[in-house]
A and B are shown apart, each in its own frame.
Chain A
């Protein structure tokens, strides 16, 4: 039979968690640590601003770039928090979440045949977007011994003459690894020497638990070769509102804008209006959520280590990434058996790239009770396989 569909669409892999998803739907009483979104509702003042927007009849398209007051607020916020300077008129584009931003940034920068370096373990959408753009994703390992940071050595190993773009995401999903200014300085030389552009997904920036987040574009030599992406989903618990943004020097943001206007037109207006409220009056709720994540992290990571699943301390995001190397099971086997035998859902690390092998992604954006239950069940599972 003739094969329908484009070769690019056929080339991208199906979701690595489909199997688990289907299995989960048939089960009851599962504690899922596989949910990559906050468990808090959107702060009420923010939600209320969205409701008010609808009541007032704000149900139309906005400018392709997004509402100017939102772009202005984003610009001020990025400056205040991370010392970034982006012109709200020309360099900021409001998108339907960072997912859209990543897609259009990649399409704006990648030609067929270009190699795109993707720092792994990584969120699962970057490489497929590269493939869809005709580029070739090239994984760059971020290793546990470096606390999952991106190092110039690992980057150098994969750079070729065809390398065009580096995609990175810190604080990282799924490892919780972060990059401080020293680490960014260290990779900046490689980026500049090889004339790479950087796409930096910083959607977890506000979920940084030790010290403060360092934006890649705050490095003076990287500023003009970086696309900074961020959004409201994680910091303000607004995943369903689909509001993110992309910031880049004009030359790049204009390209992204062209793609955005054809594929998305604009981000939803009520979400944009809610996002303005989040930036104006969301700080306290955000801080309370961050504090709670930090407490849960400490509790959960200490628990993982004490039941015999070694886990580095994730300094950002809300993921723990323990190793199962000592259990005699692969990450896939471990996750499948843990789900069927003890009803705890985690995601095998290999879903996030080869470097993630022998690890588990555990999102701790669930209640303390659930974290406690999950730890007990994981401990029971480990003793069942003779490892604790």
Chain B
């Protein structure tokens, strides 16, 4: 990893679809070298995935998301890892963190409606061994996700020409 790799990451994090040619000229590197660097970073799992940030509400396919806090009884030898790995395998679990504070694990869960989310929590998560307590926070509105604001706002306008 060098400075150029970091720059590639910054650019791709902002726009994962930046054409290779543009990426190469922006960094003043040959295209094949950029391609190779990206491949190497994918292989090293530095780049985990190329994906889209979707505003599902605008897509007319609104879904319900919830943040679930869990208190866990850690297991001898494994701590939180084993239960966390089991939880992570659920398709509905979009993100999972070990956190400090009152609760131990924090999950981001999505479903097609409130019913589905609450059923998932009460039927799949809550009954699992080692889970002592759950707290479900339904997400009511998304203001910002993955660094992207979801709200519209009037930006300032620059004069068309100034020198």
Contact = CB atoms under 8 A, between A and B. Distances in A.
Interface in B16-52: 22, 25-28
A298 B21 CA distance: 12
24 contacts: A20-B161, A21-B159, A21-B160, A32-B161, A34-B160, A34-B162, A35-B160, A35-B161, A37-B158, A39-B158, A41-B155, A123-B163, A288-B10, A295-B11, A296-B26, A298-B26, A298-B27, A299-B26, A303-B25, A345-B160, A347-B161, A347-B163, A352-B163, A361-B163
Contacts of A385: none
A372 B18 CA distance: 12
A352 B28 CA distance: 29
Contact of A36 (B22, B26, B28, B162): B162
Contacts of B7: 291, 295
Given A34-B160, A37-B158, 7 more contacts: A17-B163, A34-B163, A291-B7, A299-B26, A302-B25, A347-B161, A347-B163
Contacts of B11: 295
A69 B11 CA distance: 36
Looking at chain B, what size class is its interface with the partner chain?
10 to 19
Nearest to A125: B163
Nearest to A339: B161
Interface residues of A, number: 33
B156 interface: yes
Contact of B160 (A25, A296, A299): A25
A361 B156 CA distance: 24
Contacts of B25: 298-299, 302-303
A322 interface: no
Closest 4 CB pairs of A and B: A34-B161, A295-B26, A24-B160, A302-B25
Interface string A20-35: 1100110000101011
B10 A291 contact: yes
- The winner among B10, B27, B155, B161 for most chain A CB atoms within 10 A is B161
Contact of B163 (A174, A240, A291): A174
A37 B162 contact: yes
A35 B158 contact: yes
Nearest to B21: A299
B64 to A, nearest CB: 30
B30 to A, nearest CB: 12
A30 B161 CA distance: 11
Interface of A: 17, 20-21, 24-25, 30, 32, 34-37, 39, 41, 123-124, 173-174, 240, 288, 291, 295-296, 298-299, 302-303, 345, 347, 351-352, 361, 368, 372
Contacts of B155: 41
Given A295-B7, A295-B27, A298-B27, A240 B161 contact: no
A240 B162 CA distance: 13
A352 B163 CA distance: 9
Contacts of A20: 161
Nearest to B14: A292
Contacts of A35: 158-162
Q: Which of A34, A36, A174, A299 has the most CB of B within 10 A?
A: A299
Contacts of A303: 25
Contact of A299 (B22, B159, B162): B22
A240 B15 CA distance: 29
A35 B27 CA distance: 24
B163 A21 contact: no
Contacts of A32: 160-161
Most buried by A among B22, B26, B155, B156: B26
Nearest to B161: A34
Contacts of B163: 17, 34, 36, 123-124, 173-174, 347, 351-352, 361
A345 B161 contact: yes
Nearest to B28: A298
Nearest to B22: A299
Interface in B140-162: 155-156, 158-162
A303 B28 CA distance: 12
Report which residue of B11, B25, B162 has the largest number of chain A beta carbons within 10 angstroms of its beta carbon: B162
A37 B160 CA distance: 11
Nearest to A25: B160
A295 B26 CA distance: 4
Contacts of A174: 163
Q: Which residue, of A32, A296, A303, has the highest number of chain B Cβ atoms within 10 A?
A: A32
Nearest to A42: B156
A165 to B, nearest CB: 22
A36 B25 CA distance: 23
B156 to A, nearest CB: 7
Given A299-B26, A303-B25, A21 B156 contact: no
